[in-house]
Structure 1
Amino acid sequence: MTLAASIDARTPAHRDRAVDGLRALALLAVPTGHWLLGGFALTPDGAIRNASPLTALGGLAPVSWVLQMLGIFFLVGGFASALSYARHTGPVRDWLKGRLARLGRPVLGVTAVWAALLALLHYGLGVPEGTLRTASTLVVQPLWFVGVYTVITALTPYCVRAARRLGVWAAAPLLAVVAVVDALRYGPYGEAMPGWLSLVNILPGWMFAYQLGVSWAQGRVTRRHAWGLLLGGGALFAVLLLVLHYPASMVGVPGEARTNSHPPSLLVLALAAAQSGAAVLLRERLGRLLRRPALWAPVVVVNLSAMTILCWHQTAMLAAAIPASYGGELTGLIGAPDTAGWVLARLAWMPVFAVLLVLIGRYARRFETPWANTGTALRATAGVLAAGFAVFALA
C-alpha cells in the first residue's frame, strides 16, 4: 500500500475533507503571499531591510486578493471549533485550555528559539543588528494572527449561542461595526477621529468569517445564503475599490497612509464574504475531489503541520537571505524588488524556501505536540526567552 493510500485508509469516515482542504489552501496561501510579496534591500552597513514589490509594482495588487485567504481560514476555524465544542462533554474551560494550548506551544517555541538565535547570530557570527531587527519583525509578523485567533476561539461559546438565535445573520452586526468605523475614519471628519479608532475593527473584522463558520457548522448557512455572500461580497468589494477608492492591495504597502489588513477594513470583510460563499457552494465538489488518495494525503500533511508552517515560514526565507546578504545583491532574494525580472527570480527562489521550511519543520514540529516530559524550569526558561524576543522585535 502506498503512503497516500495508507493515509486515506486511516481517515475516519466522518472527516469533512472539504473543510480540511479549505484549511490547507488557506494555510499555504500565507507563506506564498509572504514569500512573493516580501523582499529585502541592503542598507549601507550591509544589513537587510524589508522592501515590498508592491511599492513599485502596483499591478501586483490583484495577486494579494487571491493570496489573502484569512477569511477562509477563520471560516473553517469557526466551523471546526463549533463541531469540537458540540462534541465536548466536560467543563468549557477544559475545552478552551486544550484549544489554546495547541496554539500557544508553537508560538512559544519559535520565539524562544529566535531569542537564542539573536545572540548567536550577533555575537557569534557578527550579523548586523539591522538584519536581526528585520528578521525579528518578519518572525513576529504572522504571530499577530495567533493572538487574534486565540481571543476569538475563547469566544466560541458566545458565537454558538448567536448562531442558534440568528443563524447566518449573527455575522451581520460584526460587518456593521467595521462599516461604521470605516465611515468615521475615512469620512469627511476622519482627520478629527482619534488614532485608536481603527483598532476597534480588529476583533469584529476577523471574527466575521469565524461567526459565519460557526453558523455553517450548525447548518444555518444554506446555498441561497452562500450565493448572497458570494454576490453581495463581490459587489461590495467592487464598490469599495472603484467608487470609494479603498487601497487595492490587501496587504500593507510601505509609504501608503492607508492599509486594508492592519486592522481589517470593510474591503477585507467583503472579500471574506465572497470567499465564504464560494467555499460553501464548492464544499461537496471539493469533498468528492479529495476522495482521491493522491490529493488527500498532502492535505493531511499540511493540516498536521499547520502551526509549524505559520510560525516558521519566515524563518525559512531568512535562512536563505541572511547568508546571501554577505555576497551583495542577488536578484529575487537581495536587492530592490522593483522589476518584473525580480518577480520571476523570486518565483524561482520560492521552491528553495519551501525545501528549507520542510527541513526546519522536521525539528520544529515537536513544538506542536504536548510537552508532557518538559520540566517546569525548561518551560519557564522558554517563557523568559520568548518574552525577551518579543520586547526586541516590538521595540
Structure 2
Amino acid sequence: MSDSEHKHAAKEDRDPYPDALRALALLIVVLGHWAATLPRVENGILVDTDHILDAWAPAGLYTWLVQVVPLFVFVSAAVSSQGVQQRLERGEPHLHWWAGRALGLARPTVTYLVVLTGFVLTAFFTRDGVLGPLNHSLTVHLWFLLILLGVQLLLPFCVWADRRWGLKAVVGLILLIAAVDLLRARPTGAADLLAFGARVTDTHDYFGWINIVLAWVLPQQLGIAWWHGRFFGRRTGLGLLLLGFAWLGLAVAVGYPVSMVNGNVGGDTNLLPPTLALLGVMWVQVGLVVLFETPVRNFLKRQHMGSWMAMFGALGLQLYLWHKLAELPATWLGVRLGWPIDAGMPGEPGFWIGRLEWIGLCA
C-alpha cells in the first residue's frame, strides 16, 4: 500500500462522531455568544452593551442547551484517554504531552491578546467609541481554555480511576460535589431543604471553589467511561436525557438559579463556583450524545464526512478565539449602515429580526 493509501485509510478509520460533536458544540458557542450580546445605540453611537440574560429572564432556560463546556470536556477526554493510557503503559511522562497542549493553546491565545491590545491602544488614542462598551465581551470566553487545560492535567488520574473503579468513580465525584453544596447550604430542617439551592448560592465559603475542580473533572471521567464502552445504547441515552431535565427542574424548584452560564463571582450563580445544579446540563448533553450515537456515526461514515469534521475541528480553536472580536466590525458596520443592531428589549417589535441581522453581521 502506498503512502497516500495509508493516509486515506487513516482518515477513514478516524471516528467522525467526536469531531462532529465538537463542531456542533463550537457552533452553539459562537452563535450563543453573538446572540447574547445586545448593543445599545443612541444617536448613531454605541453607548453600552447588555447581556440577554440581564434583559430577558426566560433566556436562562436556553442556557440549559447552550452551556456546552461539559460536552467539550466530555469529548476531549474521550478521544484523549486511549493515548494517555498508552503513554502511561510505556512510562512516558504525562507532563510532556500536557505541556505540548498548553503551548498549542498559548500561541494562538497570545496572538489574539496582542491583536486585541492593538485595538485597545488604537481606540485610546483615537477616542473611538466602539471598543469601550465591548471590551469585557471580547475576553470573557477565554476562561474555558484554562478549565480545559486544568482538567487535562488530571487525565492520567482519571484514566487510572476508570480502570480501577469504572462508573463508581463517576458516582464518587457526584457525591463529593453534593457534599460541597451541602456544606454551603447547612440545612437544619425541612424548610431549609425546600430552599436548598438558594441557601447554596447565598453562601460564599471559600471551600465552595472545590467544585470548580470536581464539577469539570466529572464530565472528563464520564467521557473516559463512555469511550471505553461502560454505557451505551438508546435506552441509556434517553434515560440520561430525562434524568437531566428532571435534575434541572428539581434544582430550580429548590432555589438554584435558572441560568447555567454567567453570574457574579460568589453571587447568585451556578458557575462561579459550580453547583450541583450544573450537573443537569451534563446529563442532558451526554444523554443526547449516547441517544444519537449510532445513527449519526453511521450517517457520517456513509457520507464520508470524516475529513470535513476533522478539518472543522482543526480550525475550532481559532474560531473560538476570534469569534468575539467579530463584534467590533459588526458594531461599526451596523451603526454606519443604520441597521437595527439595537432592537430594544425582547418582546418589543423587531427585536428578533434585529438579532438575526446582528448575528449576520458578526458572521
Do the two structures share a fold, i.e. TM-score over 0.5? Answer: yes
Q: Residue 236 of structure 1: which of 247, 254, 259 is its match?
A: 247
Q: Residue 279 of structure 1: which of 289, 294, 300 is its match?
A: 289
Summarize deviations over 1:283-341 as a string: whole Å, max 9, x none.
2211111125485555333211111121111101222114545x59852x236444352
User: In the superposition, relative to structure 1, how do residues 322 and 206 fare at CA in structure 2: closer, same or farther (>3 Å)?
Assistant: farther
Offset, 1:227? 5.2
CA distance in 2, matches of 1:101, 1:346: 36
Q: Equivalences for 1:1-395 in 2 at 5 Å?
A: 12-42=11-41, 48-88=47-87, 89=90, 90-123=92-125, 125-128=126-129, 132-186=131-185, 188=192, 193-223=203-233, 226=237, 228-241=239-252, 243-252=253-262, 258-293=268-303, 296=306, 298-322=308-332, 324-325=334-335, 330-331=339-340, 333-334=341-342, 336-340=344-348, 341-354=350-363
User: In the superposition, relative to structure 1, how do residues 303 and 191 fare at CA in structure 2: closer, same or farther (>3 Å)?
Assistant: closer
Q: Give the AA of the match of 1:307.
A: L
Hey, what does 1:371 align to over in structure 2? none
* Aligned length in residues: 341
Summarize deviations over 1:27-65 as a string: whole Å, max 9, x none.
111111111122122589955433023333323333222
CA distance in 2, matches of 1:191, 1:69: 22
Q: Give the AA of the match of 1:344.
A: I
User: In the superposition, relative to structure 1, how do residues 133 and 82 fare at CA in structure 2: closer, same or farther (>3 Å)?
Assistant: farther
SS in 2 for 1:251: coil
**CA RMSD, Structure 1 to Structure 2 (Å):** 3.1
CA distance in 2, matches of 1:323, 1:230: 42
CA distance in 1, matches of 2:183, 2:290: 33
Unpaired segments of 5 or more residues in structure 2? 1-6, 193-198
Q: Give the AA of the match of 2:113.
A: T
Q: Which moved more, 1:81-90 or 1:225-234?
A: 225-234
Hey, what does 1:366 align to over in structure 2? none
Offset, 1:133? 4.7
TM-score (structure 1 length as normaliser)? 0.76
Q: Give the AA of the match of 2:281.
A: L
SS in 2 for 1:163: helix
Offset, 1:344? 2.6
Percent of residue pairs identical: 27
TM-score (structure 2 length as normaliser)? 0.82
Q: Which moved more, 1:98-107 or 1:161-170?
A: 98-107
CA distance in 1, matches of 2:260, 2:169: 25
Summarize deviations over 1:200-223 as a string: whole Å, max 9, x none.
221211221111111222232344
CA distance in 1, matches of 2:171, 2:332: 45
Say if 2:343 and 2:354, in contact at 8 Å, map to a contact too: no
SS in 1 for 2:301: coil
CA distance in 2, matches of 1:14, 1:329: 50
Q: Give the AA of the match of 2:273.
A: P
SS in 1 for 2:48: strand
SS in 2 for 1:142: helix
Unpaired segments of 5 or more residues in structure 1? 1-7, 355-395
Say if 2:202 and 2:268, in contact at 8 Å, map to a contact too: no
Say if 2:202 and 2:267, in contact at 8 Å, map to a contact too: no
CA distance in 2, matches of 1:286, 1:76: 15
Q: Which moved more, 1:190-199 or 1:312-321?
A: 190-199
CA distance in 1, matches of 2:201, 2:165: 36
Which has the higher relative contact order, 1 or 2, with Cα contacts under 8 A spaced 6 or more apart? 1
